[in-house]
Amino acid sequence: MNSSNLLSTGQKAQALVTDVEHARFFESAGSRAIYCIGQHGTYLQFVGAHPKQAADLASYLAKADADTRCFLITSIGYEAIKRDQVEIAAGQRTYHVVGNNVIDNTGECIASGISITVDPSGAMVAFEAGQAFSATPSNLSALRQIALYEAQSISLGCEVHTMKIGLSNVTVPKSYRGPLKSIGQQTICRI
């Protein structure tokens, strides 16, 4: 991003603040994301946890300028990918929402009984821990991403104010110390 000639100095500074905070909030070490850099700024989209992630990315790219460059970010690093490869990379799912269950790519249930309660301040999303739930950053990151999209499907513009697994409140990662306001601006709804 720093060497990009597509972004102004101000856009680079803004991207470093918002995109890095977004990645830190979602404990992205175990997640995959597509990062786009274009003349109008940056776009960070996590992929692999919910089908709507790939749809949102496709919608963004349909409106992006032709010079927009895309990168696949994984736990081992990043690589530039062509725009025609983005759909394939975004379509590879690590987690699947099946009914009220979240199944990982090995076929194991990490969470069940998704429950969404909407109130005037937003939504509370609750999961019961599945047999394969291990509270790893990858599992928690995926469940945070799924909570955002599932709440959005219940009520457009809904903000998620609380996420629980059983009785444990896991709304904010234990390791996250940054501002929640910047996260709210980056997500489809605030968690």
Q: Residue 156 carries which side chain, given as an amino acid letter? A: L
Q: Express each pLDDT in 43-79 by its tens digit.
A: 999 999 999 999 999 999 999 998 899 999 888 888 9
**Token digits for 154?**
């219940």
Higher pLDDT, 4 or 155: 155
Question: What is the reported pLDDT for 187?
Answer: 46
Q: Which residues contact 123 (CB under 8 A, 6 or more apart)?
A: 116, 117, 151, 154, 155, 158, 159, 160, 161, 162, 189
Indicate the DSSP class of residue 136: -
Give pLDDT tens digits for 132-146. Answer: 998 888 888 899 889
% residues pLDDT > 70 (the chain) = 85
Largest CA distance in the chain: 48
Q: What pLDDT, on the 0 to 100 scale, is given for residue 27?
A: 63
- Select the more confidently predicted residue: 29 or 1: 29
Q: Which helix (H) or strand (E) holds 125?
A: strand 122-129
Contact 151, 158 (CB under 8 A): yes
Q: Which residue has the higher pLDDT, 176 or 115?
A: 115
Mean pLDDT of 170-178: 74
Q: Please give the Cα distance from 126 to 118 (Å, whole number).
A: 11
